[in-house]
């Protein structure tokens, strides 16, 4: 029996070295210490021993059991620590590694200019209006006094979706939409995308942006237009900026003007930006034509108004010193990051 016990201990010692998993250890425990285990089997045979032998073998059996328990415990600990190490290696976090940088986008220069203009006019008490880019010929031309066969329709050729539906060539149709629905006083600006059948070059794009302005009230004069545009030009291009009106013709304003600002680059002395002129044209403007007011149900005997249309691309190019309009649409981050 002594031999048997020693044999059991020997086996456990050997097998405990080979365990590969916690299941292996549990199997080992059941095999030797379980109810039907080998040690238990030997102990069951103790009844057959003599009085003298029993305490000796009993003591030995207890020692063997303790040894087995210790072996199993050690194997268990060893396995757990190996597993923990593997886990640690897997989850190792090197806090000295360079972090991931997330590039944060920036506002497009056109958006910046639109927001800047909006802010100036919001400060002057204007509201922001919107109109559809797919527009009726009626609003884009007819109601603006540009009738079939008018040369302005040639200059502003565009994509026709149906004979009476087109991609708007200007933001001026929003003037009509607003005036049809609102009685004066009206003070709005309307930024938006417009379309013309123009070939792409450094100063032209078939898709571009305008900001329309419209004020209608009693007693509005050209002096109000001039004062408003002066405030706008100074806040946009700096306190020293001057503006000048050149006579022009738009079918929906009378009188009409093209408006220049003194060159932001050379302060009017003449440089590359203003092509030696000292002035840069940025918008068209005028007093709303009485016929247009009447078309919208506003009595020109009581009310008068002014309107203007600003080229956003042109303003952005001036504001940021961009010399080719195409850069604004190429989405090259090296360019866009600069603003």
Instruction: Tell whether residue 253 is a contact of ligand PHE (CB under 6 A).
Output: yes
Closer residue to ligand PHE, CB minimum distance, 47 or 247: 247
Residue written as tokens 């009206």? Answer: 186
Closer residue to ligand PHE, CB minimum distance, 110 or 307: 307
x-or-dash pattern for ligand PHE, window 165-204, by CB under 6 A? Answer: -----x-x--------------------------------
Cα–Cα distance between 83 and 89 in angstroms, integer?
10
Q: Which of 309, 313, 318, 322 binds ligand PHE (CB under 6 A)?
A: 309
Cα–Cα distance between 219 and 75 in angstroms, integer?
99
Cα–Cα distance between 19 and 36 in angstroms, integer?
21
Helices 22-33 and 53-90, interaxial angle, to 10°? Answer: 170
Cα–Cα distance between 81 and 36 in angstroms, integer?
30
Instruction: Tell whether residue 146 is a contact of ligand PHE (CB under 6 A).
Output: no
Closer residue to ligand PHE, CB minimum distance, 158 or 262: 158
Count of positions on this chain that bind ligand PHE (CB under 6 A): 10
Residue 60: closest CA among 48, 43, 77: 43
Task: Evaluate whether 206 touches 198 at the Cβ level (below 8 Å).
Answer: yes
x-or-dash pattern for ligand PHE, window 267-306, by CB under 6 A? Answer: -----------------xxx--------------------
Q: How far is the CB of 309 from ligand PHE (least distance, A)?
A: 3
**Upper half-sphere CA count for residue 309 (Cβ side, 13 Å):** 20
Residue 256: closest CA among 205, 313, 307, 324: 307
Q: Which of 121, 126, 139, 250 binds ligand PHE (CB under 6 A)?
A: 250
Instruction: Tell whether residue 307 is a contact of ligand PHE (CB under 6 A).
Output: yes
Contact positions toward ligand PHE, by CB under 6 A? Answer: 170, 172, 250, 253, 284-286, 307-309
């Amino acid at each position: 029996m002594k031999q048997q016990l020693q044999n059991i201990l020997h086996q456990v010692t050997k097998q405990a070295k080979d365990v590969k998993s916690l299941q292996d250890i549990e199997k080992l425990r059941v095999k030797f210490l379980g109810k039907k285990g080998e040690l238990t089997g030997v102990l069951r045979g103790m009844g057959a021993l003599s009085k003298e032998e029993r305490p000796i073998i009993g003591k030995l059996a207890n020692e063997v059991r303790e040894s087995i328990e210790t072996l199993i415990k050690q194997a268990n600990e060893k396995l757990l620590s190996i597993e923990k190490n593997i886990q640690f290696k897997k989850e190792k976090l090197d806090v000295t590694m360079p972090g991931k940088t997330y590039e944060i986008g920036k506002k497009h220069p056109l958006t910046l200019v639109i927001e800047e203009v909006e802010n100036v006019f919001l400060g002057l008490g204007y509201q922001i209006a919107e109109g559809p880019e797919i527009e009726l010929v009626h609003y884009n031309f007819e109601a603006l006094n540009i009738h079939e066969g008018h040369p302005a329709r040639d200059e502003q050729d565009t994509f026709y979706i149906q004979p009476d539906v087109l991609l708007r060539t200007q933001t001026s149709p929003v003037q009509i939409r607003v005036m049809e629905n609102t009685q004066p006083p009206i003070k709005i600006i309307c930024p938006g995308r417009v379309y013309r059948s123009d070939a792409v070059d450094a100063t032209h794009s078939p898709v571009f942006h305008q900001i329309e302005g419209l004020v209608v009230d009693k007693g509005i004069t050209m002096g109000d237009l001039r004062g408003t545009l002066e405030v706008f030009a100074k806040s946009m291009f700096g306190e020293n900026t001057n503006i000048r009106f050149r006579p022009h013709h738009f079918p929906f304003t009378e009188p009409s003007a093209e408006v220049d600002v003194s060159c932001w680059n050379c302060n009017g002395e003449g440089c590359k930006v203003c092509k030696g002129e000292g002035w840069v044209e940025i918008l068209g403007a005028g007093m709303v034509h009485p016929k247009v007011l009447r078309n919208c149900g506003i009595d020109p005997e009581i009310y008068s108004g002014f309107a203007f249309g600003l080229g956003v691309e042109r303003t952005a190019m001036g504001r940021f010193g961009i010399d080719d309009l195409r850069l604004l649409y190429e989405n090259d981050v090296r360019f866009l990051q600069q603003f």
